[in-house]
Amino acid sequence: LCREALAWRQLRHPCIVPFLGLYQDCDLRSSVCMISPCMRGGNLSTHAERERERLHLLPVIRDILEGLCYLHGQHYVHGDLRAVNILLDENGRAYISDFGLISLLDQIHDKSTKGRGNPRWTAPELFESDFKRTFSTDMYSFGCLCLEIITLKPPFYEIPRDCSVIACLLKG
């Protein structure tokens, strides 16, 4: 949580959800919340299901790509790019959110940055024992996200279990 907040608060781009601050409940010391503006459009997954015909796909894809290019320009790997992590404002503008797996490219080997996003959007090489997240693995996730935006179906939607998706990816 600390790494996520430290990275997120430095990011300033029109296609990145703004970081407004942290809140800790004094009664529940372990309860810390990160605060961002309300995104009335919800996440891309639920928005697309409700209003597919009103959602302009190319501007949404462009917004996501611009935000991702900005992250990469700052030497950050997002690590968990998928529709539920893309928020929309009331005008349909897309914002990248959820920086729980974010890491600086030169700190990828640090144990604190290890972890994978959801297997359906994860590059196959990340399931090997010596995996490293890179800009390329983010781009793989971006490709899966574009497929999801266009088809309204998550990658490997026909495979019910995540462990079967991983087996499929490892098989090639």
The reported pLDDT for the residue numbered 27 is: 67
Say which residue, 141 or 113, is predicted with more confidence: 141
Q: Give me the mean pLDDT over the 37-58 stretch.
A: 77
Please report, for the chain, the start and end positions of each structural domain, with discontinuous segments joined by +.
38-171
Model confidence, pTM: 0.85
The reported pLDDT for the residue numbered 113 is: 43
Which candidate, 57, 56, 76, 58, places its Cα nearest to that of 16? Answer: 76
Which overall architecture, per CATH, does domain 38-171 show? Orthogonal Bundle (1.10)
Q: Is residue 63 annotated as a catalytic residue, yes or no?
A: no
Which candidate, 93, 103, 38, places its Cα nearest to that of 67? Answer: 93
Q: Give me the mean pLDDT over the 61-90 stretch.
A: 96
pLDDT level of residue 130 (50, 70, 90 thresholds)? confident
137: DSSP letter: H
Say whether pLDDT at 69 is over 60.
yes
| Inter-residue contact 1 to 32 (CB < 8 Å) | yes
116: DSSP letter: -
pLDDT level of residue 8 (50, 70, 90 thresholds)? very high
CA distances to 95, 114, 126 from 7, rounded to whole Å, are 16, 16, 22
Q: Of residues 25, 63, 80, 106, which has the active-site annotation? A: 80
Three-state secondary structure call for residue 25? coil
Which candidate, 153, 155, 147, 145, places its Cα nearest to that of 120? Answer: 155
Q: Give me the mean pLDDT over the 28-42 stretch.
A: 84
pLDDT tens for each residue of 86-122: 999 999 899 999 999 999 987 655 444 455 678 889 9
The reported pLDDT for the residue numbered 126 is: 87
Pair of tokens at residue 80: 């968990």
CA distances to 4, 49, 51, 163 from 65, rounded to whole Å, are 21, 21, 21, 29
